Amino acid sequence: MFNLLKKVFGKTTDAIKEIAPNKKKNLPKDEFEEILLEADVNYTLVEKLLEGLPEKITRIQAFNSLISVFQYKADWKNSDEKPFVEMIIGVNGAGKTTTISKLAYRYMEKGNSVILGAGDTFRAAAIEQLSLWAGKLNIPIIATQQGHDPSAVVYDTIESAKAKGYDNVIIDTAGRLHTQSNLSEELKKMIRVAEKAMPGAPHRKMLILDGTQGSSSINQAKVFNELIGVDGIIITKLDGTAKGGSVLSIADELQLPIFYIGTGEQPKDLIQFKANEYINTILDEIFI
């Protein structure tokens, strides 16, 4: 796991090495500040993390400061409901469709049966891409044509899952921007229809955030959370950015569980997020 995380956060740790090329037993406070800012940790959070730290910081002091960001009470929204219905949301380009394939693969590895719902009827390419993944993974998909009612897809997918005994339902949604109020209302309708098809559904609303966007993705997340209430986060594309510190900012600002991080383009490239391993991966590049 650690080797994989080192690979994922390679560009972030490379940026850290430019500031602190030599590992130290004690790190000057101003150097620690520079490292955090370079890794795209929000400035206000950096100030909070440095508060109370001495002028020379040890690894354990740095670890305790960073891990404190994740000490909030988070509802992980797990359920024994069958089918377990997840709705995947996020803006276009965040990696929703690829992440759906990764989740499906993960559930199948556990022996669960999965059905997909192509609820992004706004873009024909989204339906095609998700159908392609369904074919590769040999799992069923409920899809319609571009422009059709996505709520009907939601209803049909859940009904099919109930009738055929599927364990997991994963529903794609269009990449909504907060400026598109009609699409926001459509998303709310999809949630209402899911509840109609199966009381309590969707059991989890998962937000996909693009790691290359750094702290700017936080504003997107806040909008979605205000609109429909987000239950958890998956962060993608962290292997392609030096902004790995944005994970701290996302956790601090949103106080939501980070379920997984994407580690590549293939269905297997998804790992469970563990805060202590994430922090240690960064600190390994700084301290002896």
pLDDT tens-digit profile, the chain (288 residues): 556 788 888 889 888 888 888 899 999 999 999 999 999 999 999 999 999 999 999 999 999 999 999 999 988 888 899 999 999 999 888 999 999 999 999 999 999 999 999 999 988 899 999 999 999 999 999 999 998 999 999 999 999 999 999 999 999 999 866 556 777 888 999 999 999 999 999 999 999 999 888 767 888 888 889 889 999 999 999 888 888 999 999 999 999 999 999 988 899 999 999 999 999 999 998 998
pLDDT at 215: 65
Helix axes 217-228, 181-197, angle to 10 degrees: 50
In the DSSP assignment, the letter for residue 73 is -
Please say whether the beta carbons of 39 and 21 come within 8 A: no
Give Cα 173 to chain centroid, integer Å. Answer: 15
Nearest in space to 144 (alpha carbons), one of 157, 130, 129, 127: 127
Residues linked to residue 169 through DSSP beta bridges, in sequence order: 85, 115
Q: Rounded CA gap, 253 and 272, in Å?
A: 20
SS3 85: strand
This prediction has a pTM of: 0.94
pLDDT computed for residue 260 by the predictor: 96
Give residues with Cβ within 8 angstroms of 280, minimum separation 6.
Answer: 2, 63
| Phi and psi angles of residue 286, each rounded to the nearest 5 degrees, phi first | -110, -40
| Domains annotated on the chain, with CATH | 2-72 (no CATH), 84-272 (3.40.50.300)
